[in-house]
Amino acid sequence: TSLHTFLAALPKAEHHMHLEGSLEPELLFELAAKHDVTLPSTDPAFASPAALRQRYDNFQNLDDFLGYYYIGMSVLIEGSDFEALAYAYFTKAASQNVRHAEVFFDPQAHTSRGVELSTIVESFKRAQARAETDFGMTTQLIMCFLKHLPLSGALETFAQAKDEGFFADGSLAAIGMDSSELPFPSPMWKDVYAAAKESGIRRTIHAGEEGPAHYVTQALDILDAQRIDHGIRALMEGDDELISRLASSKTLLTTCPISNVKLQCIPSIAAFPLKKLIAAGVRFSINSDDPAYFGGYIQENYCALQESFDLSVGEWETIAKGSILGSWCSEERKTQLL
């Protein structure tokens, strides 16, 4: 509809975007060639960027996607690769009027291959500085730990980042957790969340994407998470106690509608619990998750919802303003953006 131009122009904030998930197949193949990284020759999906894109249309679930996601990011080796990846995302996001972005990265998926944590962080910081200069866009990094690896790895990665001063100097704005969900319920991560809280560091976690609503409740109760990434299962299961709690505590759900369809968490965009979120007064933002894998950046997510739900201009203004208000930037920056 005609609102698409309006939605593109609306100043927005994005809170749920994995930098490694913005690696487009063309750049993936380019970096694989540059570094002589061998992509799996037994999987026909790796025949070409076009074949890979086709495969991305058929993810069966979260873990099916994650298999491709971790192979894809194995081509990121030099600092310049990380900088190019992040700058390409910031450029695209700025073109869709994202004025502030809080982006995830998965350090353990790189340090396990011999890339230094400092290389990753310093390279992302170069891209962030360029995005601020070139587009007036502010950005923050959220360090995510991987749920499919032991707690000890998360604790060590957290300790290293803290020792290197990346939280104290503002290089890293928060911690999060992502990757496979169902076998790894929230309580497993108690110690690393306690350590972050003890150090005054903000905390978010992926929960209630594929996993049940009670993983969200546990994330609030046991981890004292301040934000929930996805969380839609709370609405889908109709957990009224949890829904009221999310609303009254003003906990932001960073939702990703196209991702939810592509990973078959919901059958179609029409099944996304948008009306329930609005009716319950739960704070939420609309985000792209892994845009290179799911075929849409933030604007495509706003537009997909508009196609199914036909919201008013006023409702969209409330959503976009809510995304700025729910950000972890300074109050001064929020005022600038509103």
Which residues are known catalytic residues?
209
The number of residues that bind Zn ion (CB under 5 A) is 1
Q: 137: which 2 tokens? A: 């866009």
Span of 124-132, 137-145, 161-169, 281-289 interacting with Zn ion by CB under 5 A? 281-289
Residue 179 interaction partner, one of ligand ES4, Zn ion, none, beta carbon < 5-8 Å per kind: ligand ES4
Q: 20: which 2 tokens? A: 């490694």
If the CB atoms of residues 99 and 208 are measured against ligand ES4, the closer one turns out to be: 208
If the CB atoms of residues 126 and 148 are measured against ligand ES4, the closer one turns out to be: 148
**CA-based nearest residue to 199, from 220, 177, 172:** 172
For 133, half-sphere exposure in the C-beta direction (CA atoms, 13 angstrom radius) is 7
Each as own residue / partner, the long-range contacts of residues 277-280 (CB below 8 Å, 24 or more positions apart, any chain) are 277/235, 277/253, 278/315, 280/235, 280/243, 280/244, 280/246, 280/247
Span of 46-54, 116-124, 262-270, 284-292 interacting with Zn ion by CB under 5 A? 284-292
Q: Is 81 in the site for Zn ion (CB under 5 A)?
A: no
If the CB atoms of residues 12 and 18 are measured against ligand ES4, the closer one turns out to be: 18
Asked whether the beta carbons of 284 and 254 are under 8 A apart, the reply is yes
> Which one of residues 14, 24, 210, 289 is an interface residue with Zn ion (CB under 5 A)?
289
If the CB atoms of residues 11 and 153 are measured against ligand ES4, the closer one turns out to be: 153
Site map 220..239 versus Zn ion, x via CB under 5 A: --------------------
If the CB atoms of residues 62 and 320 are measured against ligand ES4, the closer one turns out to be: 62
Each as own residue / partner, the long-range contacts of residues 189-195 (CB below 8 Å, 24 or more positions apart, any chain) are 189/145, 189/147, 189/151, 189/154, 189/223, 190/222, 190/223, 191/151, 191/155, 192/145, 192/151, 192/154, 192/155, 192/158, 193/222, 193/223, 193/224, 193/225, 195/155, 195/158, 195/159
Element at 134 (helix H, strand E): helix 117-135
Residue 60 C-beta: closest distance to ligand ES4, Å: 13
Residue 21 interaction partner, one of Zn ion, ligand ES4, none, beta carbon < 5-8 Å per kind: ligand ES4
Span of 92-100, 191-199, 236-244, 286-294 interacting with Zn ion by CB under 5 A? 286-294
Residues that bind ligand ES4 (CB under 6 A): 18, 21, 62, 69, 178-179, 206, 209, 259, 289-290
